[in-house]
């Protein structure tokens, strides 16, 4: 299992561990039918993808379930964070600057496989991009900007992601 070191804001390493577990689980499911190659750390960080399937030639970025607020007791799967701009000033983030063909959003029972381009169109339709909020609890279809950081993220309901998903992969 690839463990990406936590960034300086993930002080407990909780998000990195959860992401690595989700990626390993999806990889093990996909390996039943496909050859799967993991991204190098460079590809993961700078190209924003985790898994490559040579046949049918696709790259997948895996998104684990996350909390709405860091203080929440457990991650949830009703809403998913979407990165509109990355944590580095030059990084356009995984939605607009990534090379993944698909984003795999983890839910309690499945992974939703969503085409990244379709997700871009959905974000353009439903997110109020001109409204910046300063709290994660206000980020539902609005842009959350954290203090002293360049990243921009928003929350989109999982059921809306399900409406554009091409597959719902069971976690069995």
Q: Going residue by residue through the chain (172 aa), what tens digit of pLDDT does each one get?
A: 454 444 555 556 788 899 999 999 999 999 999 999 999 999 999 999 999 999 999 999 999 999 999 899 999 999 999 999 998 889 999 999 999 999 999 999 999 999 999 999 999 999 999 999 999 999 999 999 988 899 999 999 999 999 999 999 999 8
Q: Does domain 14-170 have CATH number 3.10.350?
A: no
Is residue 48 within 8 Å of 87, Cβ to Cβ? no
Q: Which two tokens stand for residue 65?
A: 């379930």
pLDDT of 3: 47
For 97-150, the DSSP string reads S---SEEEEE-SSEEEEEEHHHHHHHHHHH-EEEEEESSGGG-BTEEEE-TT--
b/e sequence 57-85, b meaning 16+ C-beta within 10 Å? ebbbbbbbbbbbeeeeeebebebbbbbbb
Domain locations in the chain? 14-170
Q: Residues with Cβ < 8 Å from 62, sequence gap 6 or more?
A: 19, 22, 23, 26, 50, 51, 103, 104, 106, 111
> What is the three-class DSSP state of 22?
helix
Q: What is the pLDDT of residue 13?
A: 75
pTM of the entire predicted model: 0.91
Q: Are the CB atoms for 36 and 53 separated by under 8 Å? A: yes
**Which one-letter DSSP state was computed for residue 67?**
-
């Amino acid at each position: 299992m690839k463990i990406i070191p936590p960034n300086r804001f993930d002080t407990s390493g909780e998000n990195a561990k959860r992401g690595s577990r989700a990626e390993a689980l999806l990889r093990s499911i996909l390996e039943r039918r496909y050859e799967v190659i993991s991204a190098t750390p460079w590809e993961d960080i700078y190209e924003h993808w985790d898994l490559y399937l040579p046949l049918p030639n696709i790259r997948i970025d895996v998104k684990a379930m996350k909390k709405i607020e860091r203080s929440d007791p457990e991650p949830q799967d009703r809403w998913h964070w979407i990165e509109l701009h990355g944590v580095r000033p030059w990084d356009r983030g995984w939605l607009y600057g990534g090379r993944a063909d698909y984003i795999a959003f983890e839910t309690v029972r499945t992974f939703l496989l969503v085409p990244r381009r379709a997700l871009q169109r959905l974000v353009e339709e439903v997110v109020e991009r001109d409204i910046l909020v300063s709290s994660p609890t206000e980020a539902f279809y609005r842009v959350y900007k954290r203090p002293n950081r360049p990243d921009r993220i928003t929350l989109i309901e999982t059921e809306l992601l399900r409406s554009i998903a091409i597959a719902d992969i069971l976690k069995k």
